Amino acid sequence: MTASEMDGGEKDFFAARGFGNRIGFGDRPALLVIDFMCGFTSPDYPLGANLDAEIDASRTILDAARRARVPVAYTVVQYDTVDGGFAGVWQRKQHGLASLLAGDKAVEIDGRVAPVTGEPTFAKKYASAFFGTDLLTWLVSRSIDTVVLVGCTTSGCIRATAVDAVQYGLRPMVVAEGVGDRSAPAHRQALFDLDQKYADVVSANEVLGYLEGLGAPGRDRNKSKHDS
């Protein structure tokens, strides 16, 4: 579901109160592939779901990002042990986290969207890709101003990452076709709420056009369009 397909009545309600404006793409993007790991992309696992369509859409974005030489980074959720409060209080809420042990197949990135040499993977223990990781340092060191988000789940780690991104002064762009959830209602509501308050929910075609434009002849990737 794209932003334009969201409930019109609700959109009008929020628009009248100043929500839902466009942040817009910046000049120096990075693509973040959030938790497309086997434990989430295969229904065979306790926390898994069928995300084949989202994987396919994300592969297209990933290929375009690499052609445009846009930095790409990945995240996985993993734990070293299931003993001794491995995920703090959160493990009391989600016993399925115990299936995400370091070294197991469940925490391997799905081979359909696997990283290539030079694309880092940040291991995390909680929802946001920023919490307890070096992701922000990696982005700042590359002068990134826009993060394009694909992955899962829309209502969990995508939402948490987008909220943190905008709070750090980045432009979060959530690719509607490239994010998925175990629950269709949760997915729809998360996309709607993100688009109204924290991020731009954009189509894959919008992102592809943006990425292709980055390689346009004469464009200086090191100079912002906002520079005078």
Name the catalytic one among 97, 149, 150, 157.
157
Q: Please state whether the predicted TM-score (pTM) of the whole model is above 0.85.
A: yes
pLDDT in tens, 64-117: 999 999 999 999 999 988 775 688 888 888 888 888 989 999 999 999 999 999
Beta bridge partners of 149: 32, 174
Strands 121-124 and 146-152: unpaired
Give the fold, CATH level 3, of 3-16+26-214: Rossmann fold (3.40.50)
Active site residue 152: no
- The pLDDT value recorded for residue 149 is 99
Query: Is-contact 124 100, C-beta < 8 A?
Result: no
Q: Which residues of the chain, if any, have pLDDT below 70?
A: 1-8, 84-85, 215-228
Strands 29-34 and 72-77: parallel
Q: How far apart are the first and last CA of the chain?
A: 38
Query: Is-contact 31 214, C-beta < 8 A?
Result: no
